[in-house]
A and B are shown apart, each in its own frame.
Chain A
Amino acid sequence: MSNNVYVVAEHIKGRFDDITFEMLGKGKEIAGALGGEVVAVLAGSGVKGMASQLGTASKVICIESEALQQFSPLAYAKAVSAVVGAHQPAIVLTGYTSMGMEIGPAVSVDLNIPLVSFVGSLSVDGGKAVAVSQLYGGKMNVESHADGNQCIISILPGAFPADAGRSSGSPAVEDFAAPDLSGLAVTFKKLIEPEGGDVDITTQDILVSAGRGIQSDENLPIVEELAKKIGGAVSCSRPLVDSKWMPKTRQVGKSGLKVKPKLYLALGISGAPEHIEGMKDAGLIIAVNSDPKAPIFDYAHYGVVGDLFEIIPALTGKL
C-alpha cells in the first residue's frame, strides 16, 4: 500500500466538474499529512488533453477506452476498481455526486475497502483517515475513523474550496490499460439537456425560495406574490419539483441549479446538504423556518424562527 491519495476526476461534456478541484485541493493537503502524493484518476475516451487542467495532482492516471466515452456506471466503476486494486492508494476520494455514488460503493465492495459517505470534513490522524459525515439531513455530525490504513471517502460537493485545487500545469501522465469493458449490461443512449424555463434563476438578484414547509401547491400564490412585491423570482427545493408543483428549472441544489443571488430568502427549507450545495454562496441568506434547529440556520446570515404562513403575508404587506 502507498501513502498516496487518489482523486476520481469527474467530467461531462469535456469539462471537469468543480468537485474534481475541490477533491484535488483537499487531497493534496491530506497527501501531505500522509507523506504521499495526490494522484488524479481520469477515465474517458480522448481525455488525455484535459490532464493539464489537473495541475494540482502530482500525476494523472489516464484510463482510456471507447466504453468510457460517456459516463456509464459499471464501466467507470470497473475502471476505477482496476486502478485502485493495482496501486493500493491509502485514500480514494470520490464525489458524493451522481457519478461518484456509482463508483465509491462499487470499489468498496469489489476491493473490500471501507467507505465513509456524506463527508464534509476530512483529516488524517496517525496515518488513518478521520472523516466527519453530515448525516440526518445535516442535523448531526458523525466522526468516523478508518479501522485500517485504507479508506474511500465520498465528499459532499461544496465542502472544500475548488480554488485550492484549481491549478493548471503539466502533471506526469501515466496510461493505465482499461480492464475488459465489453458486453456490459448497461449502455449509454443519450444525454437529455434540461428544458429552458421561463425564468433563469441563476441570473436573478433576488430569489424567494419555497420548501416543503409550504405544504401544498395551493399555498404557492403567497410565495409568488411576495416574490413579485420584492422584485425577485420564485425558486424551490427538490420535493416541490418531485411533486410537480414547480418546474425543474426552478430547483436549487445538487440535482438542480447553483444560484448566487444577492438575496436568497429560504422559506420552509430545512437545509439538507443537497440543497445547501446550490445556494450557500448567495450574498445574503435569510431563512424562515418553524424549527429552531433546522440546519438552514447554520448557513443563513439572518434567521427567523416562525410560521411562514404568518411571516410571508406580513412581509408582503410591508413591501
Chain B
Amino acid sequence: MNIIVPIKQVPDLVEELEIDASGVDLDRSSLKLKLNEFDDHALEEALILKEETGSTVTAIALEAEDVDKILFTAFAKGADKIIKVTGLENPSAHQAAQAMAEVIMGLSPDLVMTGVQAVDDRDGQIPVLLAHYLKIPHVSVVTSVKAEGGGVTVSKEYGGGLVAEFEAKLPLVVGVQAARQSPRYVPVAKVRQVMKSATIEEVAAGSTSATAGSSVKRFFKPEGGRGAEMLEGSAEEQASKIIQTLKEKGIIK
C-alpha cells in the first residue's frame, strides 16, 4: 500500500502561551513547537502497517518554522519519503487541507493517515476536511488499522470504550486517535545522521480557494484559577491542607 502521512507541529503546551500585539494570534516568537501527538500516532500506525505489509510510507508537511525537523525525524523512524509543501503562510485548516489534498492526489494514495485533531484546529479537523477535498471516504477517531483482503479493517472509538469496526475499500483517509502501540522513539543522533543523508522533496502549493469562512476577533486566556482556591506552602504544608480540607468535607475521617 502507498501510505501518506500528513504531519504538523503545534505549540508545546508545557510552555506559557502569549497573545501577540494583534490580539488575534499567539505570539509565535516565544513558542516552542513539537510534533502534534496525534500525528505521531498516525505515523506509528503507518509504520506498523509498513512492517506488516511492505507498504511505503511518505510523510508530508506544510512549510513552517522548523518543520524540516519533524520530517527528518519521520524519516529516521522509517518513512521512505519526506515531502514539504511550500508557499502557504499560516493557513486555516480548510486551506491547509485543500493544499495538502492537491499534492496528495498526485501521489495516488491508498491510505492517508493523519492525527484525529490538533490543538489549534479552529476551523475543523484535518482528516475529514482532507477526505472531502480528496473526494475519498474517511473514518476518524481510529485506534487500529489492519490490512485485510485488499482493503482495511479500522476500529473507531466512541465514548465509554465502545468501539465500532468498519471494513473499508481503498483509498481511504483515516484520522488516527492512537496507534496500536506507543509511538517509537528515535535517538537524536540518528535524526542528525538522517539530516545529512536524506533529502526533503519540495513541492509548491497550488492556489487554494478554501477559506475558514470565519474571522478571529480575539484571543483571550481563560480566567486562570477561576474557582480553585490555591493551597500554598511547602509540599508538606500543601499536603496537610489537602487532608484538612478532606476532613472538613467529611470525605475522610
Contacts and interface: CB of A to CB of B under 8 A. Distances in A.
A117 B124 CA distance: 5
A108 B225 contact: no
Contacts of B239: 311, 314-315, 317-318
A317 B240 CA distance: 10
Interface residues of B, number: 89
Given A138-B222, A286-B242, A113 B161 contact: no
Interface string B104-134: 0000000000001101111111011101110
Contact of A186 (B121, B139, B241, B245): B139
Interface string A200-232: 000001100000000000000000000000110
B153 interface: yes
Contact of A297 (B169, B175, B224): B224
Contacts of A231: 252
Interface string A11-46: 010000100000000000000000000000000000
A298 B224 contact: yes
A263 B17 contact: no
Contacts of B240: 318
Interface string A57-85: 00000000000001111100100000000
A78 B221 CA distance: 37
Interface of B: 11, 13-14, 16-17, 19, 26, 41, 93-94, 97, 116-117, 119-125, 127-129, 131-133, 136-141, 153, 155-169, 172, 175, 177-179, 181-182, 211-231, 235-236, 238-243, 245-246, 249, 251-252
Given A251-B161, A298-B225, 19 more contacts: A73-B140, A101-B141, A105-B129, A109-B97, A116-B123, A118-B121, A139-B13, A140-B26, A141-B220, A145-B214, A151-B213, A192-B155, A249-B161, A255-B158, A256-B159, A302-B242, A303-B228, A304-B230, A318-B243
Interface of A: 12, 17, 70-74, 77, 97-99, 101-102, 104-106, 108-110, 112-118, 129-131, 133-148, 151, 154, 184-195, 205-206, 230-231, 238, 242-244, 248-249, 251, 254-258, 262-263, 270, 284, 286-287, 291-293, 295, 297-307, 310-311, 314-315, 317-319
